[in-house]
């Protein structure tokens, strides 16, 4: 019985492939449109796309063109060819401004840029593009049913840019012992906190900004020591004002005591 069922499935599969190849090779665009639509509805997007590629130019100006272009756009998106998808979808939005599918395609066009965004450690050009496109969609369709998802995607991309910027600033701090350039780390954290004032990394950024100033102070040449210690203590106080119960309180207390000791010894020596 199992063998019999297998044979039936195999025969149907062969016939299906045979029909697909036959339609693919003939010149009947109506037959191609019909089979392409059936394949699209069945979720066979790669096969549908191969057919649509052949007939898209021949349907320009025809009543079926809008439906064809809608399916054509989505086959690229569903096949994860996001570069082609956003290009074709943006063309659809421009060409069919009154389409009932307009918001869906406009959203997927923006989302395709989101899909291209790489991990935070890589170049974030696509992430920035994704944010711009999603924000354009939000501004254009403030009542869209896709608004909630669009805002969620924006938050994810924003977080990725924050993580990238934070990791760059942190790298200056962590490589400090090799080049002694803690001023670059302080500046990088300043820039980060200005660009992302509500960041989830705020406490860590403020801590490592202080840590950079602390290391600069305790390893300072004598004639710059007073200024650097005072600046480090200023950053310490700023951190405690923002986070009265910091997660690394013991380490912070020890660092402050080191700075206080240097400051008191400097005062005593001068006295």
CA distance 233 to 212: 12
Mean pLDDT of 223-234: 94
Task: Summarize pLDDT for 235-269 with one digit per residue, the tens.
Answer: 999 999 999 999 999 999 999 999 999 988 865 55
Chain length of the chain: 271
What's 1's DSSP letter? Answer: -
CA distance 50 to 56: 11
Task: Summarize pLDDT for 81-114 with one digit per residue, the tens.
Answer: 999 999 999 999 999 999 999 999 999 999 999 9
**Least confident range of 132-136, 204-208, 215-219:** 215-219
User: How much of the chain, in percent, has pLDDT values that exceed 70?
Assistant: 90
Cα→Cα distances 117→1, 124, 263, 264, Å: 50, 7, 48, 52
pLDDT grade for 154, boundaries at 50, 70 and 90: very high
**Least confident range of 40-44, 206-210, 262-266:** 262-266
pLDDT grade for 205, boundaries at 50, 70 and 90: very high
Mean pLDDT of 17-38: 85
* Residue partners of 154: CB distance under 8 A and separation at least 6: 131, 134, 135, 138
* Residue partners of 19: CB distance under 8 A and separation at least 6: 35
* Contact call for residues 121 and 101 (beta carbons, < 8 A): no
pLDDT the model gives residue 203: 97
- How many CB atoms sit inside 10 A of residue 11's CB? 10
User: Which among 151, 119, 114, 141 has a CA at the least distance from the CA of 130?
Assistant: 114
In order of their start, the domains of the chain are 178-271 (1.25.40.10)
Read off the tokens for 50: 């191969």
Task: Summarize pLDDT for 8-24 with one digit per residue, the tens.
Answer: 443 344 445 677 888 77
pLDDT the model gives residue 82: 98
Mean pLDDT of 21-48: 91
Torsion of CA 136, 137, 140, 146, to 10 degrees: -160
pLDDT the model gives residue 17: 62
pLDDT grade for 4, boundaries at 50, 70 and 90: very low
pLDDT the model gives residue 27: 77
pLDDT grade for 178, boundaries at 50, 70 and 90: low
CA distance 135 to 147: 10
């Amino acid at each position: 019985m199992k063998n019999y069922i297998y044979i039936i499935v195999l025969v149907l599969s062969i016939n299906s492939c045979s029909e697909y190849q036959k339609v693919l090779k003939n010149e009947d665009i109506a037959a191609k449109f019909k089979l392409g639509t059936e394949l699209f509805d069945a979720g066979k997007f790669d096969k549908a796309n191969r057919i649509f590629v052949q007939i898209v130019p021949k349907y320009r100006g025809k009543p079926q063109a809008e439906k064809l272009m809608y399916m054509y756009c989505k086959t690229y998106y569903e096949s994860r060819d996001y570069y082609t998808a956003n290009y074709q979808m943006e063309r659809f939005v421009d060409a069919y401004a009154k389409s009932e599918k307009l918001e869906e395609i406009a959203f997927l066009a923006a989302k395709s840029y989101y899909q291209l965004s790489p991990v935070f450690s890589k170049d974030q050009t696509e992430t920035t593009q994704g944010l711009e496109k999603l924000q354009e969609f939000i501004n254009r369709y403030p009542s869209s049913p896709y608004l909630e998802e669009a805002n969620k995607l924006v938050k994810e991309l924003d977080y990725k840019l924050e993580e990238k910027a934070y990791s760059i600033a942190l790298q200056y701090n962590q490589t400090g012992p090799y080049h002694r350039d803690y001023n670059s780390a302080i500046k990088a954290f300043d820039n980060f906190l200005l660009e992302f004032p509500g960041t989830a990394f705020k406490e860590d950024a403020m801590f490592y900004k202080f840590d950079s100033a602390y290391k600069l102070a305790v390893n300072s040449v004598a004639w710059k020591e007073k200024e650097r210690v005072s600046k480090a203590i200023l950053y310490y106080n700023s951190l405690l004002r923002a986070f009265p119960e910091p997660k690394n309180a013991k380490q912070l207390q020890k660092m402050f005591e080191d700075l206080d000791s240097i400051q008191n010894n400097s005062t005593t020596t001068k006295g």
